[in-house]
Amino acid sequence: MKEAAMKFDIEKIRADFPVLTRKVHGKDLVFLDSAASSQKPKQVVEAISNYYLYEHANIHRGVHLLSQEATSKYEDARKKVASFINAKNDHECIITKGTTDGINLVASSLGEHCVNEGDEVIISHMEHHSNLVPWQMLCERKKAKLKVIPITDDGELDLEEYEKLLSEKTKIVSVVHVSNTLGTINPVEEMIEKAHDVGAYFVVDGAQAVPHIPVDVQQLNCDFYAFSLHKMYGPTGIGILYGKESIMNAMPPYQGGGDMINKVTLEKTTYNDLPHKFEAGTPNIAGGIGMGATIDYINEIDWKAAHEFEAEVMDYAHKKLSEIEDLRFIGTAEKKTGAISFLVGQIHPYDMGVLLDQLGIAVRTGHHCTQPILERYNIPGTVRASFGIYSTKQEVDQLVQGVERAKRMLG
Amino acid sequence: MSKTINELQDEVIEDFSLFDDWMDKYEQIIEFGKELEPLEEDKKVEENLVKGCQSRVWLIPEDENGVLRFKADSDALISKGIIGLLLKILSGHKAEEISSAELYALDEIGLKEHLSPNRANGLANMVKKIKMYALAHQAKD
Among residues B53, B41, B88, the alpha carbon closest in space to that of B69 is found at B88
Give the model's pLDDT for residue A36: 98
Chain A positions with Cβ closer than 8 Å to B: 25, 347-348, 350-351, 354-355, 358-359, 365-366, 380, 405, 409-410
Q: Determine the Cα–Cα distance for residues A304 and A289; give it in Å rounded to an integer.
A: 24
The pLDDT tens digits of the residues spanning B20-66 come to 889 999 999 999 999 998 899 999 999 999 987 778 999 999 998 88
Q: Determine the Cα–Cα distance for residues B91 and A14; give it in Å rounded to an integer.
A: 51
What mean pLDDT is predicted for residues A386-396? 98
In chain B, the number of structural domains is: 1
B115 pLDDT band (50/70/90 cuts)? confident
B116 pLDDT band (50/70/90 cuts)? confident
Task: For domain A45-299, give the fold.
Answer: Aspartate Aminotransferase; domain 2 (3.40.640)
Give the model's pLDDT for residue A59: 95
Which structural domain range is residue B33 located in?
5-140
Q: Determine the Cα–Cα distance for residues A52 and A46; give it in Å rounded to an integer.
A: 10
Q: Determine the Cα–Cα distance for residues B134 and A184; give it in Å rounded to an integer.
A: 50
A6 pLDDT band (50/70/90 cuts)? low
Q: Considering Cα of A284, then A286, then A289, then A293, what sign does the dihedral take?
A: negative
What mean pLDDT is predicted for residues A31-46? 98
- Element (H or E) spanning B57, and its range? strand B57-64
A23 to chain B, closest Cα gap in Å:
15
Give the model's pLDDT for residue B1: 61
Residues 6+ apart with CB under 8 A from A155: A126, A179, A182, A183, A184, A330, A331, A332, A333
Contact A354 B77 (CB under 8 A): no
Strands A23-24 and A145-149: unpaired
For residue B28, the chain A residue with the least C-alpha distance is A409
Chain A contacts in chain B segment 90-129 (CB below 8 A): 119
Give the model's pLDDT for residue A62: 82
For residue A355, the chain B residue with the least C-alpha distance is B23
CB pairs under 8 A between A and B: 37
Contact B75 A348 (CB under 8 A): yes
Q: Determine the Cα–Cα distance for residues A334 and A328; give it in Å rounded to an integer.
A: 16
Annotated catalytic, A139?
no
Contact B23 A409 (CB under 8 A): yes
| A410 φψ region: left (φ > 0), alpha (ψ -120 to 50), beta (else) | alpha
Could you tell me which CATH class the domain A3-31+303-410 is placed in? alpha beta
Give the model's pLDDT for residue B79: 92
Q: A-chain residues within 8 Å CB-CB of B78?
A: 350-351, 354-355
Contact A350 B22 (CB under 8 A): no
Strands A239-243 and A261-264: unpaired
First to last CA, chain B: 23
A111 pLDDT band (50/70/90 cuts)? very high
DSSP bridge partners of A269: A264
- Selected catalytic residue, list B12, B39, B53, B83: B53
The pLDDT tens digits of the residues spanning A15-35 come to 999 999 999 999 999 999 999
Q: Determine the Cα–Cα distance for residues A16 and A287; give it in Å rounded to an integer.
A: 19
The pLDDT tens digits of the residues spanning A64-75 come to 999 999 999 999
Give the model's pLDDT for residue B45: 94
Q: B-chain residues within 8 Å CB-CB of A405?
A: 23
The amino acid at residue A385 is A
ipTM above 0.90, yes or no: no
Contact B23 A410 (CB under 8 A): no
Q: B-chain residues within 8 Å CB-CB of A351?
A: 55, 76-78
User: Residue B90 is part of a domain; what is its CATH number?
Assistant: 3.90.1010.10
Among A354, A364, A374, which would you mutate to test the B interface (most chain B Cβ atoms within 10 Å of its Cβ)?
A354
Q: What is each CA distance from A367 to A328, A378, A387, B22, in whole angstroms?
A: 16, 12, 18, 26
Chain A contacts in chain B segment 21-80 (CB below 8 A): 22-23, 26-27, 30, 54-56, 75-79
Domain segments of chain A: what residues?
Answer: 3-31+303-410, 45-299
Average pLDDT, chain A: 96
Give the model's pLDDT for residue A5: 52
Q: Is it the case that residue A2 has pLDDT exceeding 70?
A: no
The pLDDT tens digits of the residues spanning A313-353 come to 999 999 999 999 999 999 999 999 999 999 999 999 999 99
Q: Is it the case that residue A4 has pLDDT exceeding 90?
A: no
Contact B78 A350 (CB under 8 A): yes
Q: Determine the Cα–Cα distance for residues A75 and A73; give it in Å rounded to an integer.
A: 6
Contact B54 A366 (CB under 8 A): yes
Q: Is it the case that residue A139 has pLDDT exceeding 60?
A: yes
Q: Is it the case that residue A3 has pLDDT exceeding 60?
A: no
B10 to chain A, closest Cα gap in Å:
25
